[in-house]
Amino acid sequence: MKLICANSYQDMSRKAANLISAQVIMKPNCVLGLATGGTPEGVYKQLIDWYRKGDLDFDQVTSINLDEYVGLGHEHEQSYWYFMQKHFFEHINIRPDHIFVPDGANPDAETVCREYDQIIQRHGGIDLQLLGIGVDGHIGFNEPGAAFELGTHRVRLQQSTIKANQRYFASEADVPVEAYTMGIKTIMQAHKVLLIASGPAKAAIVREALFGPVTPRVPASILQMHPDLTVVLDHEASACLPAEFTA
Ligand code: PGA
């Protein structure tokens, strides 16, 4: 594991964006596994900026997103499809037919998940997977207790995740209770994993995930076993790490 401590959210975003840029420059037709949430917004802003300056070209890039709420179609403003368009894709030159997000509008979980795994396989797997981490240690929507050996599947969200995501909806009752998510197996098969975390609310779980036991109770802890994991934390998210890692 390569651990990088940044001194601010902006610095974390720029460092993570640098690593994604390197991937796109080294392999212009790469497959990025992208993530939604508050944490990666700054990464996308930085990448858009470099694209506008002519430093990045996404014409041959494919994006396969981590997850989507069950029941929300593309037009829903809280769907992850919509998030990705608004925060990233509509500002760069990625081709629309190179964009994949699980189809939240389709209630047929078996078909959605099987087809999503086939999409990933057809593209030769994911070159670089960007991940945030939930306060309960989830990655994608793999909540505590999720089996490590699953591909894309439907999950029921934990109450803590619903509460954390409520900020984007009118009320807690409006937050979907189910999602389609890439499984831990899919995530672990990515050639490179880039985990980012920001803010004091993530400090304890970051320590547990990276330095605690590897257990389905903390889904992100499996990343300790990934052969090419880079973690970029801002100052606050790194606050609970053992001292030798923050110096
Ligand atoms: P956040 O979400 O970036 O909004 O904190 C992270 C996650 O739940 O994976």
The domain locations on the chain are 2-245
Assess whether the C-beta atom of 39 lies below 6 angstroms from ligand 1.
yes
Residue 206: strand, helix, or coil? helix
Q: Which DSSP state fits 158?
A: P
Nearest-10 Cα torsion for 134, 85, 19, 43:
-60
Would you state the pLDDT for residue 24? 98
Assess whether the C-beta atom of 219 lies below 6 angstroms from ligand 1.
no
Residue 5: strand, helix, or coil? strand
Question: Contact 170/211 with Cβ under 8 angstroms?
Answer: no
CA neighbours closer than 13 Å in the CB half-sphere of residue 13: 17
Assess whether the C-beta atom of 195 lies below 6 angstroms from ligand 1.
no
Check if 138 is active-site.
Answer: yes
State phi, psi for 236 to the nearest 5 degrees: -70, -40
Give me the architecture of the 2-245 domain, per CATH.
Answer: 3-Layer(aba) Sandwich (3.40)
Would you state the pLDDT for residue 246? 75
By DSSP bridging, strand 229-233 and strand 192-197 are parallel
**Can you spell out the DSSP letters for 53-98?**
TTS---TT-EEE-SEEETT--TTSTTSHHHHHHHHTGGGS---GGG
Q: How does pLDDT run along the chain (247 residues), one tens digit per residue?
A: 999 999 999 999 999 999 999 999 999 999 999 999 999 999 999 999 999 999 999 999 999 999 999 999 999 999 999 999 999 999 999 999 999 999 999 999 999 999 999 999 999 999 999 999 999 999 999 999 989 999 999 999 989 889 989 999 999 999 999 999 999 999 999 999 999 999 999 999 999 999 999 999 999 999 999 999 999 999 999 999 998 887 5
Would you state the pLDDT for residue 247? 59
Assess whether the C-beta atom of 42 lies below 6 angstroms from ligand 1.
no
The number of the ligand 1 atom at minimal distance from the alpha carbon of 138 is 9
The number of the ligand 1 atom at minimal distance from the alpha carbon of 161 is 8
Kindly report, residue by residue over 162-217, the tens digit of the pLDDT: 998 999 999 999 999 999 999 999 999 999 999 999 999 999 999 999 999 999 99
Check if 67 is active-site.
Answer: yes
**In sequence order, which ranges of 126-242 are alpha helices (DSSP H)?**
159-165, 184-189, 203-211
Return the structure tokens found at 101.
């997000």
Question: Contact 170/77 with Cβ under 8 angstroms?
Answer: no
Kindly report, residue by residue over 210-220, the tens digit of the pLDDT: 999 999 999 99
